[in-house]
Structure 1
Amino acid sequence: MLPALLLVAVLAVLAVFQIALALGAPLGRFTFGGRHPGVLPVGLRVAAALSVAVYALMGTLALDRAGVIAVYPADASRIGMWVVFGFLVLNTIPNAISPSRSERLVMTPLLIVMSVLALLVALG
């Protein structure tokens, strides 16, 4: 259960970050390759807001898989957590090679930690 709770905590912090981006916080250097180091353009701010829904789905899958909540059928949360794990691993690659030093130094280690946590939850 601890890996799921830690993963949800990290997702919550990232959700706050994405909401801040969506509301115009000048933190663009940490995302989208750092192409917009200050305030993101409107389209990317919308994408940041939509990512909060993805984080919520990932969080509920993790909590369901860990037995904290019962929202999805067992097979759905089991398969869903493997999808989450794969998604996080694949997202580590562009962050690791991002032209943005800030994104590489902050988001890459964060994604590695999240990937490990997701793997532990998926293994159940």
Structure 2
Amino acid sequence: MSHQDAAITFTIVAMIIATFQFSLAQGAPFGDMVLGGNKSKVLPKNLRILALLQGVLILFLAFVLLVNTNIVHIMFLANSNFLVWLSFFISALSFLGNILSQSLKERLFGVPMAGILFFTSGVITLY
């Protein structure tokens, strides 16, 4: 897999995850699929704000990877190695958190998604 293919794949999966996070922020009844499944169907307001921020963060990281693989050209983000490594570490932590989740629904949805983000961000980081 080329680093550009990895960035595109990361972005597609990030868009799926961001859509899910934004739906949680709007009150969608998927609270049992996040945070270990310990929440009710609809997240409380403070966690809905967190879901919104997580959606924005994952889209920002996807944008950073698109810039660093020269798919998108924005000078102020070019060669931002720190942000590339940050995307890798956040993806690694997300993957680990989803593996360790007590929620079967979270593992079934989160592990494959986070695994793809972890793998593709690793390809880009090590390129």
Q: State the TM-score, normalizing by the size of structure 2.
A: 0.89
Could you list the per-position Cα deviations for residues 74-115 of structure 1 after superposition, in whole angstroms to 9, with x for gaps in the alignment?
431x33112211111122222111111111122012211110
The one of 15, 18, 23 aligned to 1:12? 15
**8 A Cα contact 1:96 1:104, kept in partner:** yes
SS across alignment from 2:79: helix
Return the match for 1:87 from 86, 90, 96.
90
Matching residue within 51, 54, 58 for 1:55: 58
- Long gaps (5+) in structure 1: none
Query: Which structure ranks higher in relative contact order (CA pairs < 8 Å, sequence separation ≥ 6)?
Result: 2
| Runs of 4+ that moved beyond 2 A | 70-75
Q: CA deviation at 1:56?
A: 2.0
Percentage of pairs with the same residue: 27
Give structure 2 stretches of 5+ with no counterpart: none
TM-score, structure 1 length as denominator? 0.91
Q: Distance in 1 between matches of 2:108 and 2:48?
A: 22
What's the RMSD between the two structures over aligned residues? 1.4
Are the counterparts in 2 of residues 22 and 46 from structure 1 also a CA contact under 8 Å?
yes
Is the contact between residue 34 and residue 100 of structure 1 (CA under 8 Å) also seen in structure 2?
Answer: yes
1:75 to 76, 79, 104: 79
**Superposed displacement of residue 67, structure 1:** 0.2
Shift of 1:123: 2.5
**1:22 aligns to what?**
25
Q: What is the identity, as a one-letter code, of the residue corresponding to 1:67?
A: N
Equivalent residue pairs, number:
123
Contact 1:84 1:118 in 2 (8 A): yes
Aligned partners of 1:8, 1:33: CA distance in 2, in Å?
A: 25
